[in-house]
Amino acid sequence: MAALEELRKQLDEIDDQMAKLYEKRMEVCSKVGEYKIQSGRKVFDRTREKNKLLDVASKVSGEFNKKGIQELYQQLMSMSRKLQYQQLVEAGALGKLPFIQVDSLEKESARVVFQGVEGAYGQAAMQAYFGENVNSFHVRTFRDAMEAIEEGAADYAVLPIENSSAGAVNEMYDLLDEFENYIVAETIIPITNTLSGLPGADISDIQRVYSKAEALMQTSRFLDEQAHWQQISVVNTAVAAKKILEDQDKTQAAVCSAYAAKVYGLSVLVDEINNEPNNSTRFIVVTNQKIFLKEADKISICFELPHESGSLYRILSHFIYNDLSMTKIESRPIEGRNWEYRFFVDFEGNMAEPAVKNAIRGLREEARNLKILGNY
């Protein structure tokens, strides 16, 4: 016991020195920051940091210590950069915001596009955000919707980005990177499947059930209880509902939303037949203008990283040191570059806040092809 106390005393003495040296180092870094503000030089100097890591590693012995001191210095230099970015913010040297702040969106006169057909969940999400009387049209694919926005054929698109049980809609992430369109809002709607049939039909009449394959799977427990029901897959839940109306056959039913049932004049025979209750989908509202709402509190970005050990760690440190809470991270393969990835990160904040400006500044310097997908 006495030996431990003695050793800890030694550690305390060393740490006293280290703390003083840390403070001294940061003071010098702050002078470097002032110099950079005056001279307009960039905060991050990749070559200098690389050399510094080699230099400190050469001053200690053994692989374990070489790695350890490099890790320590990566952290020290990251903190030094954070301090300098803060100085830049305080000196007002961060320039204009990359997006224009608006008080509200012009919802009434807007023309909005969704993917699918009448009665699709995308339409329900659109109406949840823009109201039932919205001026809208629909297109066949997500890409068609993104093109309609880019060309200006529509002011906004409402598109799914994530389902609570099935996860990310991968194609949307790729399209957000590819197109110069931006997220301005999001809306979450419950995805509650029903069994719907012709008015007057009874559940005992049913012999065939139509729906999209995913919806048949999401409701498999309910459907499989009726062993004699034939399950038939069609392209869309709303298409299934439409078929029931057109065929006028009481033995047929659709697995679709209550909304699609309403659109095609069907009766809900059994409500909420999902295996998983609380199944919901998050939809984003996309436009071709770089705007954000005053009360926006979430930012989505994407970036690529150099193939180096620690590069993701260094990027993520910008969130930590600016006290920003990261809410989501996804990665997608980069087309044409096997086993390289583009990262998509959501974090809390508004672009007008200094901490966010600070983080974006740092991220832009250190990540490749940083793109701000929107603040909403």
Ligand X SMILES: C=C(O[C@@H]1C=C(C(=O)O)C=C[C@H]1O)C(=O)O
Instruction: Quote the least distance from Cβ 45 to ligand X, whole Å.
Output: 4
Residue 67: how many CB atoms within 10 A of its CB?
12
Q: How far apart are CA 121 and CA 126, in angstroms?
A: 9
Task: Report which secondary-structure segment, H or E, holds 138.
Answer: strand 135-139
50 binds ligand X (CB under 6 A): no
Q: Are 136 and 333 in contact (CB under 8 A)?
A: no
Classify residue 229 by its DSSP letter.
P
Which member of 194, 219, 237, 281 is catalytic? 281
Site string for ligand X, 123-152 (x = CB under 6 A): ------------------------------
Give residues 79-118 in contact with ligand X (rule: CB under 6 A). Answer: 80-81
Of the listed pieces 74-82, 116-124, 193-201, 350-358, which binds ligand X according to CB under 6 A? 74-82
Of the listed pieces 76-84, 91-99, 154-162, 275-283, which binds ligand X according to CB under 6 A? 76-84
- 283 given a catalytic annotation: yes
Nearest to 279 by CA among 169, 171, 186, 188: 188
Furthest C-alpha separation in the chain: 90
Nearer to ligand X, 29 or 175 (CB): 29
Task: Report which secondary-structure segment, H or E, holds 8.
Answer: helix 2-39
Q: Could you tell me how far CA 315 lies from the centroid of its own chain? A: 16
Instruction: Quote the least distance from Cβ 11 to ligand X, whole Å.
Output: 25
Nearer to ligand X, 33 or 374 (CB): 33
The HSE-up count of residue 84 (CA atoms within 13 Å, CB side) is: 27
Nearer to ligand X, 30 or 163 (CB): 30
Instruction: Quote the least distance from Cβ 329 to ligand X, whole Å.
Output: 24
User: Strand, coil or helix: what is 360?
Assistant: helix
Binding residue for ligand X (CB under 6 A) from 30, 45, 262, 289? Answer: 45
Nearer to ligand X, 83 or 149 (CB): 83
Of the listed pieces 75-83, 95-103, 143-151, 176-184, which binds ligand X according to CB under 6 A? 75-83
Judged by CB under 6 A, the number of residues near ligand X is 11
Instruction: Quote the least distance from Cβ 71 to ligand X, whole Å.
Output: 14
364 binds ligand X (CB under 6 A): no
Instruction: Quote the least distance from Cβ 48 to ligand X, whole Å.
Output: 4
Q: Are 305 and 367 in contact (CB under 8 A)?
A: yes
The HSE-up count of residue 226 (CA atoms within 13 Å, CB side) is: 17
Nearer to ligand X, 49 or 171 (CB): 49
In this structure, which long-range contacts are made by residues 136-139, counting pairs with CB atoms below 8 Å and at least 24 apart in sequence?
136/111, 136/112, 137/111, 137/113, 138/113, 138/114, 139/113, 139/114, 139/115
Nearest to 305 by CA among 340, 335, 357: 340
- 194 given a catalytic annotation: no
Which member of 142, 283, 319, 344 is catalytic? 283
Beta bridge partners of 139: 115
First to last CA, the chain: 57
- Binding residues for ligand X (CB under 6 A): 29, 32, 43-45, 48-49, 52, 77, 80-81
**Mind telling me the catalytic residues?**
281, 283
